[in-house]
Chains A and B, each alone.
Chain A
Amino acid sequence: KAGVTQTPRYLIKTRGQQVTLSCSPISGHRSVSWYQQTPGQGLQFLFEYFSETQRNKGNFPGRFSGRQFSNSRSEMNVSTLELGDSALYLCASSFPKSGGLLARDTQYFGPGTRLTVL
């Protein structure tokens, strides 16, 4: 079974530009969560999408947005990039079709997209 895939793996942008990152979850998973990883702040939750609806949102400015498509693939967008947005952006999927209650909590992560803002 293929894992979570993220594209692109690396991106270089300049301040003020916008960027779109893509995440394809494990087949059958319906929930996609996004996280930002930086050396200073560590791993922080951005938002979660389930069945095309944003269910939870972290404490990030409105420049960070996302969406989910009917096939559960998700994209996140960052507008008006700032230097501090340089980070590893990780996507995780969960909610397999089969499995009991215990399986619901497990998130499986992709390799991440490394964004550098110059």
Chain B
Amino acid sequence: GDSVTQMEGPVTLSEEAFLTINCTYTATGYPSLFWYVQYPGEGLQLLLKATKADDKGSNKGFEATYRKETTSFHLEKGSVQVSDSAVYFCAQNPERGAQKLVFGQGTRLTINP
């Protein structure tokens, strides 16, 4: 079935470090891919998305590229800030037009000053 696998957390980095959170997916079709972020006590905020192969989503310094050949959508940021501390979720929508996300398990990120 359709699934998403994220790298195990938690991840702890120092401010200004380079961030990579790995995400791979399995899907029978051609899903849309998303990264969402969740701050403590809040719902999910859309961080970025990509809808077809080789698309690059970007927002707030974060980037991810839809790699169909490796079924991956890794999240990267060149220089993290303390305010980036949150839980990050990779997700796919395997069926276009059906609003039914499949999520990874989430990666907790802590940035130390």
Interface residues of A (CB under 8 A from B): 4, 6, 31, 33, 35, 42-45, 48, 50, 55-56, 58, 90, 92, 94-95, 102, 104-112
Contact = CB atoms under 8 A, between A and B. Distances in A.
Main secondary structure of the interface of A (DSSP, over half): strand
Complex A-B, nearest 5 residue pairs according to Cβ-Cβ distance, in ascending order: A43-B103, A109-B44, A109-B43, A105-B32, A111-B43
B96 A104 contact: yes
Given A43-B89, A109-B36, A90 B99 contact: no
Contacts of A112: 42-43
Interface stretch (B10-18, B45-53, B66-74): B45-53
A114 B92 CA distance: 24
Interface residues of B, number: 24
Given A90-B44, A104-B96, 6 more contacts: A31-B99, A33-B100, A43-B89, A44-B103, A92-B44, A104-B97
Nearest to A111: B43
B101 A107 contact: yes
Interface of B: 32, 34, 36, 42-46, 49, 51, 89, 91, 93, 96-106
B101 to A, nearest CB: 6
Contacts of A55: 98-99
B96 A106 contact: no
A105 B51 contact: yes
B51 A102 contact: yes
Given A33-B101, A42-B103, A48-B98, A108 B49 contact: no
Contact of A48 (B36, B43, B89, B100): B100
